[in-house]
A = this chain, B = another copy of it.
Amino acid sequence: MNISEFAKIAGVSKSAVSRYFNDGYLSDDKRALIEKAIEETGYSPGISAHSASKRVTKLVGVIIPKLSSESISRVVDGISEVLTAEGFDLLLVNTSNDVNKEIASLELFRNKHVDGVILLASIFTETHLSVLSKMKVPVVIAGQQLKGFNCVCHSDENAAYALTKLMLDKGRSKPAVIGVTHDDLAAGKARWDGFYRAVAEAGLSVPRRFTEVALFNMDSGYEKAANIFSGNVKPDCIFCATDNIAMGVLLYCREAGIKVPEDVMIASVGDNRSGRVAYTTLTTAHLHYKTEGINAARMLLRELKSSDMVTKTLQLDFEIIERGSTGGCETV
Contacts and interface: CB of A to CB of B under 8 A. Distances in A.
A133 to B, nearest CB: 12
Contacts of A26: none
B57 A67 contact: no
A205 interface: no
* Contact-residue bracket for chain A: 35 or more
Contacts of A96: 81
A113 B47 contact: yes
A76 interface: yes
B66 A57 contact: no
Interface in A6-49: 42-44, 46-49
Interface string A218-246: 10000000000000000000000000000
Contacts of A76: 67, 92, 94
A52 interface: yes
A202 interface: no
Contacts of A107: 44
A113 B96 CA distance: 26
Interface string A42-68: 111011110110000101001000111
Contact of A274 (B47, B90, B250, B274): B274
A221 to B, nearest CB: 11
A113 B89 CA distance: 11
Given A247-B277, A277-B274, A331-B255, A46 B112 contact: yes
A94 B113 contact: no
Contacts of A49: 48, 51-52
Given A44-B111, A47-B113, A331-B255, A84 B93 contact: yes
Interface string A245-265: 001001100110000000000
Contacts of A69: 73
B113 A46 contact: yes
A8 to B, nearest CB: 18
A80 interface: yes
